[in-house]
Structure 1
Amino acid sequence: MLSTSEILPQGAVSGQFVEAHSVHFGIRFVRGERRAGMQLSAVLAFAAIAFTLIAVPGPDWAYVLAAGARDHVVLPVVGGVMAGYVILTAIMVAGVGPLVAAAPATLTALTIAGSAYLVHLGIRVLARPGGIERSGATGTALAASRLGYLRRGMGVSALNPKGLLIFLSILPQFTRSENDWPLPMQLGALGIVFVLICAVVYIPLGHAADRVLGARPGIARRTTQLAGATMIVVGLALLGERIIETS
């Protein structure tokens, strides 16, 4: 049997030759190793961690619960929260995230804005925890329109400095330098996974708050009050933690 070197031209058995000719088979090789666009194991591991983080009650939970139980609004609220994380993903992809984290003044300003926004929403919820009844009786809603709920949801997630820091600390750990995809594309893909898991968790949560709690005004009122108080506590805690870190 003839050897490879006797059949192919001199030097044709190099890694470059294999890589060039393997394109016809839809596979790329470098030095005899196959490179995948994104490793499924890394994506699944990130998805598991993301689900754990999202499932822990926080500002997003409080806003979704309050809007669902109090105002009977779900999809615009969740869509806004998801859009906020899309913004954070875009910041990561653009490479701005590390710059923001490395600039104390910018991070402090972001913390103050996010904390103030959460406290404002919490006070608004506590002021009228009864919300809008299905019969049409009016009250002071969290927003005047579906677009308003969308914008507020974006503010809750995008202005949360913890969300940015989570993206900064966790997403890069699941990227692989040997992958075909460049780093920004990998970060973008992981960010989209996070956003989709938000939908999986928050849409059922919002509908449960709307249908289950909405049918029980007393429980809905107490849940709404708890959600409003949570927003205020989280907002103040974020601000206090930032003050301690910078002092």
Structure 2
Amino acid sequence: MDAGALFSFLALDLLLVCVPGADWAYVIAAGLRGRSVLRAVAGLVSGYALHTALATAGLAVLVAGSPRLLTALTVGGAGYLVWLGWGVLRRPAAPGAAAEDGRGSGVFLRGATISGLNPKGLLLYLSILPQFLTLRGAHLPVPAQTAALGLLHMACCAAVYLTVGTLSRALLAARPAAARAVTRTSGAAMLGIGAFLLVERLATL
């Protein structure tokens, strides 16, 4: 893997991470509801750590080569995204709103579930990341390259989501109307993306 491929992956990965979606909605809600943004981000990053471990073990290649398994995972992730989006639209986060589960473990585990089932994560690890691997003549074996790119993605997620969560608490805490508008927009985006993925995937069956 050369430096050019590494920087190209970093640029594309940052672009994907900066697109608002389920992860953004979760850290914004965590910031507005007084939850620990750090725990929420740690949960999200741990979900991508699982993706990285599976991809490094070669399971990403196996899933990518199994249309039925890939469809099942995509449909499950998209359905969860629709459910989350609908929940955000029904109950948009507002400053000081009571959390359903304010415990650290609950915040962490829900974050891990959200990122673990996020279709955007599946797209990255199953379709995009393999394109940046050097299969022949590389100094590092493919599993090591996969792990390095996965760790880079996790670092990007941690940096962006900590920034988003912190800024949401600082900028939106005193603006309830703006906070609700931001979370409703994120919820609508999640619902729309999830519905699109469901329709697209089910249409191929």
Q: TM-score range by the shorter chain?
A: 0.7 to 0.9
> What is the Cα deviation at residue 60 of structure 1?
1.9
> What is the Cα deviation at residue 39 of structure 1?
3.0
> What is the Cα deviation at residue 94 of structure 1?
0.9
Match of 1:147 in 2: 105
* Consecutive unaligned residues in structure 1, runs of 5 or more: 1-37
> What is the Cα deviation at residue 74 of structure 1?
1.4
| Cα gap change, 1:116 to 1:105, in 2 (>3 Å) | same
- 1:7-26 equivalence runs, <5 A: none
| Counterparts of 1:84 and 1:97, CA distance in 2 | 15
Give the TM-score of the pair, scaled to structure 2.
0.88
| Counterparts of 1:179 and 1:238, CA distance in 2 | 35
| Cα gap change, 1:238 to 1:143, in 2 (>3 Å) | farther
Residue 89 (str. 1) matches residue 52 (str. 2): yes
Which amino acid in structure 2 is aligned with residue 149 of structure 1? V
- 1:75-114 equivalence runs, <5 A: 75-114=38-77
> What is the Cα deviation at residue 185 of structure 1?
0.6
Residue 241 (str. 1) matches residue 200 (str. 2): yes
Q: Aligned pairs, how many?
A: 204
* Consecutive unaligned residues in structure 2, runs of 5 or more: none
> What is the Cα deviation at residue 170 of structure 1?
2.3
> What is the Cα deviation at residue 67 of structure 1?
2.6
> What is the Cα deviation at residue 75 of structure 1?
1.3
> What is the Cα deviation at residue 200 of structure 1?
1.6
Residue 129 (str. 1) matches residue 92 (str. 2): yes
> What is the Cα deviation at residue 51 of structure 1?
1.0
- 1:157-236 equivalence runs, <5 A: 157-176=115-134, 177-236=136-195
Higher relative contact order (CA closer than 8 Å, sequence separation 6+):
2
> What is the Cα deviation at residue 130 of structure 1?
4.5
| Cα gap change, 1:78 to 1:130, in 2 (>3 Å) | closer
| Counterparts of 2:53 and 2:62, CA distance in 1 | 14
Q: Does structure 2 retain, via aligned residues, the 8 Å contact 1:68–1:209?
A: yes
| Counterparts of 1:142 and 1:47, CA distance in 2 | 36
| Counterparts of 1:122 and 1:161, CA distance in 2 | 13
1:139-161: CA deviation from partner (whole Å, max 9, x where unpaired): 3x253422222222222222123
| Counterparts of 1:226 and 1:72, CA distance in 2 | 21
Which amino acid in structure 1 is aligned with residue 186 of structure 2? A
Which amino acid in structure 1 is aligned with residue 61 of structure 2? P
Give the TM-score of the pair, scaled to structure 1.
0.74
1:36-62: CA deviation from partner (whole Å, max 9, x where unpaired): xx5333322211121111112222222
The CA RMSD over aligned residues, in Å, is 2.1
Q: For the pair shown, which has the larger CA radius of gyration, 1 or 2? A: 1
Hey, which of these two has a bigger chunk of helix by percent? 2
| Counterparts of 2:163 and 2:14, CA distance in 1 | 14
> What is the Cα deviation at residue 97 of structure 1?
1.0
Match of 2:37 in 1: 74
Residue 46 (str. 1) matches residue 21 (str. 2): no
